[in-house]
Structure 1
Amino acid sequence: MPRHYAIVPAAGSGSRFGAEKPKQYLSLLGRPLIFHTLAALVACPDIDRVWVVLAPDDAEWGTYDWSELGPKLETVRCGGPTRADSVSNGLQAAAMVAADDDWILVHDAARPCLSGDMLAALFADLADDPVGGILAVPVADTLKRADAEQRVAATEPRDGLWQAQTPQMFRYRLLCEALEKCRAVTDEAGAVEALGRQPRLVRCDATNLKVTYPADLVLAAMILRGRK
């Protein structure tokens, strides 16, 4: 049976958040934000190993105690200037154990509200899928396209539009090939699409939010408190 591995690219600075430290280390319920992200992955019995990909000069990681997360977690200091670079370097670290048909889950470091039920739905929907896929949410809000003066230039139809989330799950060899051929993407699905493949959309919900702005950190705390 194919095994499941996870890669968490965590070499970014989180500049849009505007904090003094990378947002993955901001406090969330008394822990670094990324602790909650990693805890959800290592707690999943179907995931064999989790690699967190750090920037080579990351000075924050070593100031925390991560031992509670257990032996599944491994750190590699090979993060690159882009997400695609960091994920590709993480795939190289996984090469020692991952077979071509094993599943790789790539998950955002700043998406701390991932739940076991979300992972179970992803695994169930993609178990026999020839391509793989991603967690996603149908777009519910009306979409406006802005002009250069930040005025509404057009209203965009939202039919068929989904908001991509993570984890994004693909076979090891397919993901390696996709990122080798296409680095100019913002997520792994985009690289797979560039090969002519069509990733499956696995419906999730808005609680699997990505912390991008300060208000998102407040929402993440509310979601995690609600689950406890």
Structure 2
Amino acid sequence: MFTGIVEEVGTIARIQGGAHSSTLEVCARTVWEDTHVGDSICTSGVCLTVTSLTQRGFTADVMHETLSRSTLGGLSVGDKVNLERAMAVGERFGGHIVSGHIDGTGTVEHITRDGTAIWYEIETTPGILRLIIEKGSIALDGISLTVARVDDATNTFSVSTIPHTTTHTTLTDTQVGDAVNLENDIVGKYIERLMRAGNSAATPQGITMDFLLENGF
């Protein structure tokens, strides 16, 4: 489990493999500390397992499913990635619950400066957008952000970032047209699944709107 509070920006040092699987070597300093083989590191929103430690960072294997669902398949040597170690018991929970299991990708449509803040408008699929709500949370390349606007007509949502977030993550290099990894709030995904189960003929006793109303929700 992660919080979406990026610890540092790492650099892709080496890529081995092809379209169906690959091994990434990431240069890092902060997340390298107190990390062991088998630990999880959120890499631009994707939960990866450390397979080895190097003098300059760590390596991780990436499966075909991950390459096809995220932006990791398009990485090149020298690209920057957001890094966060798994949350430790007793740590402050500064963002929201982030699993590192990407739902899909979006495309940066507009970037607008608003005083010290920067607005990013992201286009994505209707399937992902339906679980994004105004003032809710979204993990964008592993960054916990608050959704400021949602536009169902254009399949877009917008987030506004403070200077600290922009300068301490890969957002500082993000440009219009770039693809970004998206993870919906896990709570919303579970609720949607339960609601769909309640409307299924196979589970007539599931959670329905009538059930919620009858029980005070």
- Identify the structure with the greater helix proportion: 1
User: TM-score w.r.t. structure 2 length?
Assistant: 0.28
Q: Which has the larger radius of gyration?
A: 2
